[in-house]
Amino acid sequence: MNQSDNLSAIRQRARLDRHATSYPLIVIGAAGFHYASFRSSIGWLPVVYGMPLAFVVVWALQWRTERDRGVGSGYDRMLMLAFTVLLATSFVMSETWWAVTSVVATLSEVWALLPAGLGLAVLGWRQRNWALVGWAGVIVAGLIAGESAKDSSLMLRGGEFGASYLVLLPQLAFAAATCAGLLQFRREGAPG
């Protein structure tokens, strides 16, 4: 085994020990599923604060794990990423942006979740965690697919109940990311 392989194995073990993949997927996935389910304007905490807060929760969980196990990134800028997601979400949700941009005027509120998906991609890229980057791609693809099929719905029970693709496709993307995070959490907890 050469030095590069040793370094890669050590990096992978440290990533597993600090739950670098599972925490972001579980927290961001669950919060995104909630906001995709109830639209961004409904709920006790608006999406403009809720999704950045999810990044702060990920930071807190990883910080606690770092203190407990002594393994962590040491120089992680997760709080700055949370602040960036807050600014991007505020920008996407701003009435000024929606009023001046005629192209965006036809987009739905589900786009408020786009900064969270992009934030997850940035987090994965910074940590060289390609699983996070891949799942961020799934989330963004779910948002785009939902938006492109927003006028259609899946009819259930012989047409008496319809689920809008605008809500269903982002829900499925966030739910899949959450499930992947739960499976990864189990794997990360296994002794190396």
User: And the tokens for 54?
Assistant: 């999810």
Secondary structure of residue 161 in the 3-state scheme: strand
Strands of the chain, DSSP E: 153-156, 161-164
Q: How far is 143 from 140, CA to CA, in rounded Å?
A: 5
pTM over 0.85: no
Return the minimum-mean-pLDDT range out of 9-23, 100-114, 134-148, 160-174. Answer: 100-114
Dihedral sign computed on CA atoms, order 81, 123, 25, 134: positive
Q: Tens digits of per-residue pLDDT, 116-141?
A: 999 999 988 888 889 999 999 999 99
Q: Tens digits of per-residue pLDDT, 137-188?
A: 999 999 999 888 877 777 665 656 677 888 889 999 999 999 999 999 988 8
C-beta separation of 58 from 21 below 8 A: no
Q: How far is 31 from 35, CA to CA, in rounded Å?
A: 6
Secondary structure of residue 84 in the 3-state scheme: helix
Q: How many CA atoms lie within 13 A of 40 on its CB side?
A: 21
- Choose from 30-44, 65-79, 81-95 the range with maximum mean pLDDT: 81-95
Q: How far is 179 from 72, CA to CA, in rounded Å?
A: 24
pLDDT for the residue 102: 56
List of residues 6+ apart from 154 with CB closer than 8 A: 162, 163, 165, 168
For residue 29, pLDDT beyond 90: yes
C-beta separation of 161 from 155 below 8 A: yes
pLDDT for the residue 46: 80
